[in-house]
Amino acid sequence: MPNRAYYEELWSSLPEGLQPAGFQMRRRFLLGHVSSGQRVLDLGCGEGAFTAALREAGAEVLGVDVAEEPLRRARARHPELDLRLIEPAGPWELPDAFFDVVWAGEVIEHVADTAAWMSELRRTLRSGGKLLLSTPAHGRLERVRLALSEQAFAEHFDPLSDHLRFYSAETLTALVDLYGFEGVSVSAARADAVRPSAAGRFQTMRPPPPGRRLLLLAATRARF
């Protein structure tokens, strides 16, 4: 299971200030589900782009990450933010049933122990609170593209990639439903921004394939 040193190495290899993939689209999705005054956990906040956007929108937001390097960058860019380090394998030093919203943007695909991660996420979210997340989509067209292109398959499933899990709308819905969420809504949207690649020990950069799509999920934590 990846430890903190793994994530520190990953972040140290990436250039500072890189805009998250699909930032504007994901920002609209996120802020469309959050109200001013709500307590929001930005889980896997990275350099704090979404944390800052949430604060500007009036949310009471806490940004957390499993590595110190992205938090250092976030503090330098956004000194007003509340940012904390959490353990990669948990448990997280966060209160039970405290947050109105948990946002996990492009995080779940990096998680080794999905069961423990989902359990901790659910623990921190109040009854009736909202889970919002995004992750790369692996729908029918993407699966066909990978099946038909040896190069695309090799690049997508690079053994050194930091992506450990791969989701379709169906598998993501089933997972979230299993952990006590209801009213699950999943949509797909195109993301055009360049994202870092982990190939070659995290050193290379390449644009996403044409039409790369993200899954956007919103769900409600079932009430006690």
Using the predicted structure, report yes or no on whether residue 15 has a pLDDT greater than 60. yes
Across 22-31, 129-138, 188-197, least confident range: 188-197
* pLDDT given for residue 158 in this prediction: 61
Beta pairing class for 205-206 and 195-196: antiparallel
22-33 average pLDDT score: 95
- Which CATH class, in words, describes the domain spanning 4-13+21-139+164-196+212-221? alpha beta
* Angstrom distance (rounded) from CA 217 to CA 41: 16
How does pLDDT run across 45-103, given as a tens digit for each residue?
999 999 999 999 999 999 999 999 999 999 999 999 999 999 988 899 999 999 999 99
Q: Scanning the structure block, which residue is given the tokens 């990669």?
A: 88
Q: The pTM is what? A: 0.85
* pLDDT given for residue 52 in this prediction: 98
Q: Compute how many other C-beta atoms are within 10 angstroms of the C-beta atom of residue 141.
A: 12
Q: Scanning the structure block, which residue is given the tokens 């947050």?
A: 99
Across 155-159, 160-164, 177-181, least confident range: 155-159
Estimate the crossing angle of helix 68-77 against helix 4-12, to 10 degrees: 50
What are the structural domain ranges in the chain? 4-13+21-139+164-196+212-221
DSSP structure string for 91-147? --S--TT-EEEEEEES-GGG-S-HHHHHHHHHHHEEEEEEEEEEEEB--HHHHHHHH
In terms of Cα–Cα distance, which of 109, 111, 134, 141 is closest to 209? 141
In terms of Cα–Cα distance, which of 221, 194, 220, 222 is closest to 208? 194
Q: Scanning the structure block, which residue is given the tokens 């500007």?
A: 56
